[in-house]
Structure 1
Amino acid sequence: MSTPPFSPAEARAARLRMGMTREQVATEMTQLGVWLRPQRVKAWELGTRVPSETELFALADVLWCPTPVLMSLRPRTLGHHRLPRQLTRERLAHRIGMEIHAYARAETERRRHGEERQTRALAWALGTTPEHLRETIGRIAEVIRLLAQAVESRWKSRLAPLAELAEVDKRRVQYALGVLRQEYTRITERYMGHVVAGSAEARLREIADERARWLTRLPEHFWELVGHADVAALPVLSGRGSASR
């Protein structure tokens, strides 16, 4: 399972606003049933580790801080809408009367499975409307389609529509696509290298599974890269040639 969006800076700022030490944060989280050491809190604030969903919920409670503040990210996926309401997949699935594996598949595949009643129940649980939920899922699906095309073929023609759908600066999208294409190319070249070398079938399946997992996490990785891009250090796009291919 992928980790939730998290802002180390916001977490540290929230702790300092409360006048708490990392030891106090760890102690109070343990009292909430989430056992950890102060070193874990330090790692979160340094950005070397990311809390799990359960840890994120407990940290927000301890710091008296809204979960979306610690996420520091505009909700753009089903998971992002779920986390601010401090709902695990299991609790949300139970609330809307849906099998956990079915909901998990819907969240992972970024498309709805189930009947209209469940769509309305899901919208209510997430604090939105069925119409907005369907629109959100439709936009997510389009972003995923464009991302898959961008990493597998020419990316420039997908730059403008992705920036528009994501509602972010084109330079952030260009940076994210550059990193994603490099990662995808490395995985593909490694696979082809083993094919040429006549590697064992098990090794080929291992790399193929790695590629499948990478593609599954593609949207989350895209938003992470977009959010962490240093705009000041990115080149200014000319406006005409940036989406020419």
Structure 2
Amino acid sequence: MSHPPFSPAQARAARLRIGLTPEQVVAAMAQLGVHHLAQTVISWETGVAAPSETELFALADALWCSVPELMALQPRSLREHRLARHFTAERLAQRIGMDVHTYARAENDHDWSGTDRQTLFLADALGLEPGELLRVIGRAGELDGILRQAVEGRWKQHTATLARLVGAPERRVAQALRTLHQEYGRFNERYMGHLVARSDHARLKEIATERADWLHALPDRFLHLADAGTRPSP
């Protein structure tokens, strides 16, 4: 596996901020079971070398900072979220009940194949809210597509699918879809009313823009209404 993202400048800044020498850093890492010479820390800070995942975890602990700080990024991918939570691939796979090779393939190929239960355990382990979870596992587009079908047509037939997708009770999903379907219907009623009344083009365009903005925010509004994120206990 390739080295994780790492910022030499952030590592040096974190060390200087708490006033440690490279020797003191490696001494702290040794207490965590990672043994190196001070020169290794210097090589990381100068960009000559980069730490492995295990070394990154130990370095963050030794420097009293978060892993994302040393990676100098806001976690977005599945691997980055895993690293931010100090999980090795093996430990996370075990936590969610997935074969480690299957998990590693999902992470490397950006193609999540976990069961509904494994997906909910993943969200719990990584502390992901439903919207972020769907983005991380590549299903945000799927949610948006199903929601648009639901508000534009027969919403009831999509209830079970959406409940599984976001990990929310079907009853709450049904309530959310009913509300959204009604809201979307009111947009159409307003538009057709102004069309029949032969309102000016500017007013029709204004309503169309409002509807487009509403559709853009549809996934987040749905997740809020459904109170998604009910997770089973491991």
TM over 0.5: yes
Q: Secondary structure at the match of 2:65?
A: coil
Q: Is the 8 A contact 2:134 2:140 kept in 1?
A: no
Q: CA deviation at 1:137?
A: 2.8
Q: TM (normalized to structure 2)?
A: 0.57
Q: Which residue of 2 aligns with 1:115?
A: 115
Q: CA deviation at 1:17?
A: 1.1
Which structure has the larger Rg over C-alpha atoms? 2
Runs of 4+ in 1 over 6 A off after TM superposition: none
Alignment of 1:87-236 (within 5 A): 87-138=87-138
CA deviation after TM superposition for structure 1 residue 111, in Å: 1.3
Counterpart Cα distance in 2 of 1:140 and 1:107 = 17
1:78 paired with 2:78, answer yes
For 1:138, what is the secondary structure of its paired residue? coil
Say if 2:55 is the partner of 1:61.
Answer: no
What is the alpha-carbon distance in structure 2 between the residues aligned to residue 98 and residue 31 of structure 1?
Answer: 31
Identity %: 60
Q: Partners in 1 of 2:72 and 2:62 — Cα distance?
A: 17
Could you state the TM-score of these two structures normalised by the residue count of structure 1? 0.55
Paired residue for 1:47? 47
For 1:140 and 1:6, how far apart are their aligned partners in 2? Answer: 28
Do the aligned partners of 1:119 and 1:130 also contact (CA within 8 Å) in 2? no
Distance 1:140 1:134 in 2: 5
Unaligned regions of 5+ residues in structure 2, if any?
Answer: 142-234
Structure 2 residue matching 1:44: 3-state secondary structure: helix
Are the counterparts in 2 of residues 82 and 88 from structure 1 also a CA contact under 8 Å? yes
Distance in 1, Cα, partners of 2:137 & 2:98: 18
CA contact (8 A) 2:10 2:72 kept: yes
- Secondary structure of residue in 1 paired with 2:3: coil
Question: Counterpart in 2 of 1:15?
Answer: 15
**Long gaps (5+) in structure 1:** 142-245
CA-atom RMSD in angstroms: 1.7
Contact 1:110 1:140 in 2 (8 A): no
Opposite residue 123 of structure 2, the aligned amino acid is A
TM-superposed CA distance for 1:32, in Å, is 1.2
Aligned partner of residue 73 in structure 2, secondary structure: coil
Matched, 1:4 2:4: yes
Residue-by-residue CA offset, 1:64-109 (whole Å, 9 max, x unaligned): 1111111101212110011011010011011111111110111011
Q: What SS class does the counterpart of residue 112 from structure 2 fall into?
A: coil
The SS at the match of 1:2 is: coil
Equivalent AA in structure 1 for residue 18 of structure 2: M
**1:139, CA displacement in angstroms?**
7.7
CA pair 115-139 structure 1, distance change in 2 beyond 3 A:
closer
Q: Distance in 2 between matches of 1:88 and 1:140?
A: 25
2:52 and 2:35 mapped to 1: Cα distance?
A: 12
1:237 is aligned to none
Change (3 A) 1:139 1:97: closer
